[in-house]
Structure formats: structure tokens, C-alpha cells
């Protein structure tokens, strides 16, 4: 048992931090892993061999390029950012969200976002001392543009966060509504395009049209979740200020070399994304035929669905018993009540999920 002196030490932890719950990652050992929106496909063997030969040359005794200049050039060259655009890199887009909040957030400032959306928006706001204001989505998870604009006028947020497509609902918000929201905002509007490879919709090529917008992207969903790399682009004036908060050498040499090599082979990842989208369409069609299940249209690599006439907790546990791990989003009394989310995996993984789900929610389902 800690003594009083030890207890007093923990009193130093800020109340905003003490009130948080750490981000939970489920143990997927032995499971069909469909819970984390990962690309299920590994690299081709010949590509892995070539990559291995390249990273053997890494000068591990030296600090990495602090600006990741070669990688920035590669990203522009393959069309993942406009030619000549300024870029700031982060250890995943989560770190970029944090440096944005540290730059423009803090005590007396507010961040506004639709809810439900990516949980890290609120979590990072809270531990940076920024007040979080959530504006509910409509019942079908579309953006309530009028409520968002009213929220901007009332709260004058320093930051507006928009996931495009949204997580966990998977849908793209109305583009005209986003443009109007940008025009009404005095603060920075962050458009988080983590799932852009599956939606073919983006604001990144229009970034120079707005003086208060940055676009975030990550390579994680593309198939590089293991290296944790995100990047941000926008007006150079914004990125210069945000970059002051980024820790030096935050992108290590192996990440820089690996990402550069992967993007030289971007067609591999584009073909994998196309395969995932085809599977998404097939899985959506089958889920729509199930009794007691309402699935929501997705432009991402996952599908949000609601259990109606059955218990989502029982469905989730039943899937676990069949070694299928998805994401349990059930939150009583919220828009996500009785909701679960499944990542699109390989065909045989999706079949295992669909077969297990059908047995749990209906008695007359058969794969067509």
C-alpha cells in the first residue's frame, strides 16, 4: 500500500489527466483481427526483399533528416500532396493533432467537432487543457451543418476538427457544408483525411484556396500502420508556426526510408485499396440482407452497424467466441447505442465474420 507521501506525489498529476481513460487496445492474439481499420495485406515477398536491402544502408549512428526532405519530395511526386506544398510530419497523425492543439489550444480556448467522431480529438483536447465542444451528428450520422455553424458562432473555437470520411461512421460529410463551415470559422479548420485512399474525395488539392485550413493524412490505413507516419499540409504560414511545437527528429531514419521505398511502389497499395473497396461493397450488400442489422454506407475501410432486435454486447461476445475481433462501440444513451464496427479484411476473414454474425442475428440467412 502506498503511504501518504506517495499519495501526495500523485496529486501532482493534473486533474484533466487523472480524469482520462487510457486509449484501450484489445488483445488480438489468435483472432481474426477486424477491429483497427488496418490494411490486411502484407507486402509482396520481392518487395520485402528489396526494402530490406535498402534499409541495410541506414546510418543508424546519425540523427535522421529533421525535415524528412527526401520523403516530402516523394509524397509530392506520387501525388499525395500538391507540388511545392509545405509539409510537416508526425509520428502518426495523432502526434500532428497534438502539436496543433499545443499551438492554438490551451486554457480558455475551444476545439469543436461533430460527435461521434475520432475519439482522439476530445482526448488530446482535454490533456492539452483545451475545452472540447461536441456537436451531435444527425441520426443517420450525417453532418448537421446548421448546428455546426451555430456552434462556431457561439463558441468561436480555435480549432474545428472534421474527419473526412468520418470515423466511426465511415461516411463523407457534405462538401458544400464543409466549405460553408470553413468560411464561418475564425479558427483553424483541420480536415482529417485518414481514409482518403478508400473514398477518392479530398480537399488537399484546394488547400491554397483557404487561409484557415490544414489537411492531415496518415500512411497507416494505406498499409503502413507499423511505421506510424502522418503528414500535414496547408498554408506555409500555418505550418511554420505549428512546426515550432514539433519535437526535433521525431521521424526516425527507418521510418523515413521505409515510407520513401513504399511510396516508390504506391501502385501496390492502390491495388490493395481497390480490393478492399470491392470487398466493402460485397460485405455491405450481405449485411444489408441480414435481419436485425442496420449497416451504414461507408467510404472508408470499415462498416459501422447497429444491432436492432438483438443485443450488441451479446453479438460482440458471440463473435469473440468464434475468434473474430471487431470494435464494440456500444455506449448506452448515445448515438452509438448498440453499434459495432467491422474492418474490411481479406475475403476469408470477411466470410468468417459474416457467417458468425448471421448465426448470431438470424436463423434464415445463407450466403449468396
The DSSP line for 304-325 is: EEEESSS-HHHHHHHHHHTTEE
Q: Assess whether pLDDT exceeds 50 at residue 249.
A: yes
Cis peptide, bond prior to residue 328, ω within 30 of zero:
no
- Segment 253-287, tens digit of pLDDT: 999 999 999 999 999 999 999 999 999 999 999 99
Q: Assess whether pLDDT exceeds 70 at residue 301.
A: yes
Helix or strand holding residue 216 (H, E): strand 213-218
**pLDDT recorded at residue 275:** 98
| CB 306 within 8 Å of CB 331 | no
**pLDDT recorded at residue 7:** 63
CATH 3.40.640.10 placement within the chain: 61-265
- Cell numbers that stand for 165 in this block: 470520411
Q: Three-state secondary structure along 150-210? A: HHHHHHCCCEEEEECCCCCCCCCCCHHHHHHHHHHCCCEEEEECCCHHHHCCCCHHHHHHC
> What is the rounded CA–CA span in Å between residue 206 and residue 69?
23
CATH 3.90.1150.10 placement within the chain: 4-43+268-361
**pLDDT recorded at residue 368:** 35
pTM summary value: 0.92
Q: Assess whether pLDDT exceeds 50 at residue 203.
A: yes
- CA nearest 251: which of 65, 23, 32, 15? 65
| CB 39 within 8 Å of CB 225 | yes
**pLDDT recorded at residue 6:** 62
Compute CA distances 20 → 9, 179, 212, 221, 358, whole Å.
18, 33, 30, 26, 36
- Segment 125-176, tens digit of pLDDT: 999 999 999 999 999 999 999 999 999 999 999 999 999 999 999 999 999 9
Instruction: Please list the residues that pair with 32 across neighbouring strands.
Output: 324
Confidence at 325, pLDDT banded by 50, 70, 90? very high
Q: How would you classify the pairing of strands 339-343 and 302-307?
A: antiparallel
Which residues 6+ apart lie within 8 Å of 116 measured at CB?
137, 141, 168, 169, 329, 334, 335, 336
Question: The CATH number of 61-265 is which of 3.30.70.250, 3.40.640.10, 3.90.1300.10, 3.30.465.10?
Answer: 3.40.640.10
**pLDDT recorded at residue 116:** 98
Q: How would you classify the pairing of strands 131-136 and 159-163?
A: unpaired
- Please state the rounded mean pLDDT for residues 100-126: 96
Rg value, the chain, Cα: 21
Q: Assess whether pLDDT exceeds 50 at residue 67.
A: yes
* Least confident stretch, 18-27, 64-73, 210-219: 18-27
- Segment 49-64, tens digit of pLDDT: 999 999 999 999 999 9
Which residues 6+ apart lie within 8 Å of 135 measured at CB?
112, 113, 114, 115, 144, 147, 148, 151
Q: Can you tell me which residue has the cell 485518414?
A: 194
**pLDDT recorded at residue 16:** 75
**pLDDT recorded at residue 364:** 42
Q: Assess whether pLDDT exceeds 70 at residue 367.
A: no
Ranges of beta strands (E only) in 23-158 are 32-33, 86-90, 110-115, 131-136
**pLDDT recorded at residue 102:** 96
- Please state the rounded mean pLDDT for residues 98-103: 97
> What is the rounded CA–CA span in Å between residue 135 and residue 366?
40
pLDDT, mean over the chain: 93
**For the purposes of burial, counting CB atoms within 10 Å of the CB of 332, is it exposed (0-12), middle (13-18) or buried (19 or more)?**
exposed
For the domain 4-43+268-361, what is the CATH code? 3.90.1150.10
Q: Residue 237's CB: how many other CB atoms inside 10 A?
A: 10
| CB 55 within 8 Å of CB 349 | no
Q: What percent of the chain has pLDDT over 90?
A: 88
| CB 183 within 8 Å of CB 145 | no
Amino acid at each position: 500500500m502506498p503511504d501518504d507521501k506517495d499519495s501526495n506525489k500523485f496529486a501532482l498529476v493534473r486533474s484533466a489527466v487523472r480524469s482520462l481513460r487510457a486509449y484501450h487496445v484489445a488483445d488480438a492474439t489468435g483472432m481474426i483481427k477486424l477491429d483497427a481499420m488496418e490494411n490486411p495485406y502484407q507486402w509482396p515477398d520481392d518487395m520485402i526483399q528489396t526494402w530490406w536491402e535498402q534499409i541495410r544502408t541506414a546510418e543508424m549512428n546519425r540523427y535522421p533528416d529533421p525535415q524528412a526532405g527526401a520523403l516530402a519530395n516523394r509524397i509530392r511526386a506520387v501525388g499525395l500532396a500538391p507540388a511545392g506544398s509545405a509539409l510537416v510530419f508526425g509520428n502518426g497523425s495523432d502526434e500532428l493533432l497534438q502539436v496543433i492543439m499545443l499551438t492554438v489550444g490551451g486554457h480558455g480556448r475551444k476545439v469543436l467537432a461533430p460527435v461521434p467522431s475520432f475519439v482522439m480529438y476530445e482526448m488530446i483536447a482535454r490533456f492539452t487543457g483545451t475545452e472540447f465542444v461536441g456537436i451531435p451528428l444527425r441520426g443517420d450520422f450525417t453532418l448537421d451543418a446548421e448546428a455546426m455553424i451555430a456552434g462556431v458562432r457561439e463558441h468561436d473555437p480555435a480549432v474545428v476538427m472534421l474527419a473526412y470520411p468520418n470515423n466511426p461512421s465511415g461516411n463523407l460529410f457534405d462538401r458544400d457544408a464543409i466549405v460553408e463551415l470553413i468560411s464561418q470559422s475564425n479558427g483553424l479548420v483541420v480536415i482529417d483525411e485518414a481514409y482518403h485512399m478508400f473514398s477518392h474525395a479530398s480537399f488537399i488539392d484546394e488547400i491554397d484556396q483557404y487561409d484557415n485550413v490544414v489537411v492531415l493524412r496518415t500512411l497507416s490505413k494505406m498499409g503502413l500502420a507499423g511505421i506510424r507516419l502522418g503528414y500535414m499540409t496547408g498554408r506555409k504560414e500555418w505550418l511554420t508556426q505549428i512546426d515550432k511545437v514539433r519535437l526535433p527528429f521525431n521521424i526516425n531514419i527507418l521510418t523515413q526510408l521505409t515510407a520513401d521505398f513504399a511510396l516508390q511502389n504506391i501502385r501496390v497499395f492502390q491495388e490493395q485499396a481497390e480490393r478492399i473497396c470491392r470487398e466493402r461493397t460485397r460485405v455491405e450488400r450481405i449485411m444489408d440482407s441480414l435481419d436485425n442489422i442496420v449497416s451504414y454506407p461507408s467510404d472508408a475501410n470499415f462498416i459501422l452497424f447497429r444491432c436492432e432486435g438483438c443485443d450488441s454486447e451479446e453479438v460482440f461476445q458471440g463473435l469473440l467466441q468464434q475468434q473474430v475481433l471487431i470494435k464494440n462501440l456500444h455506449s448506452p444513451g448515445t448515438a452509438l447505442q448498440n453499434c459495432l464496427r467491422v474492418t474490411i479484411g481479406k475475403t476469408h476473414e470477411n466470410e468468417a465474420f459474416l457467417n458468425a454474425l448471421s448465426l448470431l442475428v438470424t436463423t434464415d440467412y445463407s450466403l449468396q
